Amino acid sequence: MTLDKSIPLPTLQKVGSRWQLQVDGKPWLILGGELQNSTMSSARYMKTSGIWAELQKMNINTILGPVAWEDIEKEEGCFDFTELDAIIHDARSHGFRLILLWFGSFKNGVSCYVPSWVKKNIQQFPRMQIRHQDGSLHRANVVSTIHPNCLGADQRALTCLMNHIKEVDGARTVIALQVQNEVGLLGASRDVSDTAEELFRGGVPEELVQFLDDRWETLMPEMTRNFPVFAARRQTTEASEAREPKSWEGLFGKTVFTDELFMAYHYAHYVETLAAAARRVYNIPLFTNAWLPMPGTQGIAAGGAVPGEYPSGGPTPGVLDVWQRFTPSLDFIGPDIYSADYSDTCRIYSGAGRQPDEFGVRRIWEAIGRHDALGAAPFGVDTQTAEESRLTSHYKLLSSVAPFISQARAEDRFMCGFFFDEKSPAEKTLFVERASEYELSIRPGFVLGRPGPGYGLIIELAADRFLLVGKGFRVEFMPRSPTSLVSGILRFEEKEVGEDGSGLRTCRVFNGDETRSGSWANMPNDEPDYGDTFIPITIPARTGIAEVQVYSVE
C-alpha cells in the first residue's frame, strides 16, 4: 500500500495540560492487549487459530506485538518482512491498530532476539561481563551498550524496519513503536568488561554531572536518596573542588546504585541513538518500557530489590530522571506493572500488565481517569477467550465513553478514576476529590451485606452535572461554598449508548431507595450482597453509565 499523505501520522499532542494520542487526526484511547511473544511470528497461526475474532470480541482496539530482529534479518543485510506485512494487512482488515515492539538488542535484560550471526560472533559483537560473588568473571548473554558494532547493527535493522512500515502502511495501521523491551543487565549491577571498566574508572561525563547539579532539588526522591555522597558534595563551598573531575565511585559512592547509574547512562544513550534514527525515517510515537523493582519479590519478568535482581540500568524510578533527560527522541517511558504498587507506579510514570484478571483490570480505571494514561495493554490477552477475559466488559464500557474522556482532557475538565478491591486497606476505601464547585466523596457501593469490589471514573460535564462510569461505588456531593444552606441530588439518570452509537440516552431515572432519598449516587456492582435482609432495596448494575445533576441553595 502506498503512503497516503492525506491521512495524518499518529502523534502525541498536548491538549491543555494533558496529552492525547491522535490517530487519523482524532483522539485515540488505547484499549489494548499485548500478545504472547511468539504469536506475531506467524501470520498463518494468527489467522487459523481464531485469535483475531477473539480479540474483536474483547473490545480491544489496539494490539501490541513484537517484531523480532532475528526474524526479519536472518542473514546480515537481507531483510524479510513477509510475516509482518501479512499481520499488518490482517490487523487492518479486522479493524485493529498495531503498536509494534522492537525486540532488537534487548528483551527482558537479555539479548535473546538478536540474529544468529550476532549471537555466534562475540568478537564483532562483544558481550557484557559480570562478576560473581566468588570473584570469577562470566560473559553474559547481553550485547555491549558501549561497543559501536552492536549499536550500529541494531540501528541499521530498526531503520530498515521503519522505512518499510512507512512504505507499506499508508493506512496508518501501525500507530507507535516500542524501542527495545525492558532493558538492563541481570545477574550483576554493572558490566565489568575491560572496556566498561575503563569508562567506569574514568571521569563521569560532564553532561550528566551538570544535569544532576542543575536539577537535584527537583529530581525524584527515588533517585536522590540513593546518592548521599553526591548530595554532600554539592554542599561544598569550594567551587574548584566541586568541579574537580572524579570517577563514578568518587562522585557517587561505592554502591550498587552508582553501578546502576553508570549502566542507565549508557543504556539511555544506546536507546536514544536508535530512537533518533527511527524518528528520522518515520515520525510516529516512540517509547520504551521498564521492568520495575519491588523488594520482597523476584519473578521471571518482574520484581527484585537491587540492581541486578531487576535489570540494572533500565528506566526504573531510581534513574528515571536520567533516562528522561538523555532520551529526548522517546515520547514517553511506560512501566510494565506486574507486581509493583499500581497507584504509586502510575504516579511516578505519568510524567511521561499483569495477567488480565479482575484484580488487574479494574486498575485500568485509575490509570485512565486519574493519571491521564494513553490507555492500557495487559499482557498475554491471546491466552484467553473473550468469554474468559475480564477485559471484555471493561473495554466495552470504556469504549462507550471514550469520546467523553477525550473531550474532558481537551477541555481540562475535572476527571478522576479509582478502584476498590475486595479487601482494600482503610485508606483506599474513601477518595475525596475537588471538582469546580463540589467536593466528591467516593466509597464502595452501598449494599446491605458485604461491600464488593468496584471501579470507575467520574467526569465533570458542567459545574453541577457529572458523568459516572463503572460499578461498585457511590458518590456524595458536598458544595464547596461555605454559604450553602441545602444541597442534594436533583436528578440521577441511568444512561446507555444510543442505537446509532453516537451519544447517550436515558434508560431509567433513579431516586428513593436507590439514592438514599437523594443523599448519594450509587453505582452498584453486578451482584450486590443483600446480607440477611428480606427487603432488596438495592439493585444490580446494568449499563454502568449514569448522569447525575446536583444542586445547592444559598
- Domain extents for the chain? 11-187+261-410, 415-553
The class (CATH top level) of 11-187+261-410 is alpha beta
Is 461 exposed, middle or buried (CB count within 10 Å of its CB: 0-12, 13-18, 19+)? middle
The secondary structure of 42-79 as a DSSP string is -HHHHHHTTHHHHHHHTT--EEEEEEEHHHH-SBTTB-
pLDDT in tens, 170-182: 999 999 999 999 9
Cell of 18: 494533558
Inform me whether the pLDDT recorded for 530 exceeds 80. no
Q: How far apart are alpha carbons 198 and 258 in whole angstroms?
A: 15
Give every strand in the sheet of 465-471, ordered side by side.
415-420, 454-462, 465-471, 545-553, 486-497, 504-510
What does the alpha-carbon distance between residue 179 and residue 161 come to, in Å, rounded to a whole number?
12
For the beta carbon of residue 360, count every other beta carbon within 10 angstroms: 19
Mean pLDDT of the region 294-316: 79
Asked if residue 294 has pLDDT above 80, the reply is no
Q: Supply 214's cell numbers.
A: 542543575
> What confidence score (pLDDT) does residue 351 get?
47
The residue that leads in pLDDT, 249 or 498, is 249
Residue 87 has pLDDT above 50, yes or no: yes
What pLDDT score does 243 carry? 52
In this chain, the answer to whether the domains covering 11-187+261-410 and 415-553 adopt an identical fold is: no
Question: Torsions phi, psi of 384, nearest 5?
Answer: -130, 155
CB 357 within 8 A of CB 363: no
Q: How far is CA 70 from CA 58, 114, 119, in A?
A: 31, 5, 10
Number of Cβ within a 10 Å radius of residue 227: 22
Q: Which residues pair with 12 in a beta bridge?
A: 21
Sign of the Cα torsion 199, 202, 208, 212 reads: positive
Give the CA distances from residue 30 to residues 63, 138, 159, 299, 317, in Å, rounded to whole numbers and listed in that order. 9, 42, 25, 27, 24
pLDDT attached to residue 245: 60
- At residue 341 the predicted structure's pLDDT band, cuts being 50, 70 and 90, is low
* 3-state SS class at 158: helix
Task: Return d(Cα 313, Cα 109) in angstroms, integer.
Answer: 10
Mean pLDDT of 488-505: 89
| Confidence band, pLDDT 50/70/90 cuts, at residue 240 | very low
Angle at 33 between CA 30 and CA 39, to 5 degrees: 140
Topology of domain 415-553, per CATH?
A: Chondroitinase Ac; Chain A, domain 3 (2.60.220)
Mean pLDDT of 504-509: 94
Percentage of residues in the chain with pLDDT exceeding 70?
A: 90
At 265 the pLDDT is: 99
**Which secondary structure element, helix H or strand E, spans residue 291, and what is its range?**
strand 286-291
Give me the long-range contacts of 421-430 (CB less than 8 A, separation at least 24): 421/359, 421/362, 421/453, 422/452, 422/453
Whether the predicted pLDDT of 278 surpasses 80 = yes
Residue 379 has pLDDT above 70, yes or no: yes
Average pLDDT (93-98) is 98
CA distance 418 to 395: 16
Mean pLDDT of 137-154: 97
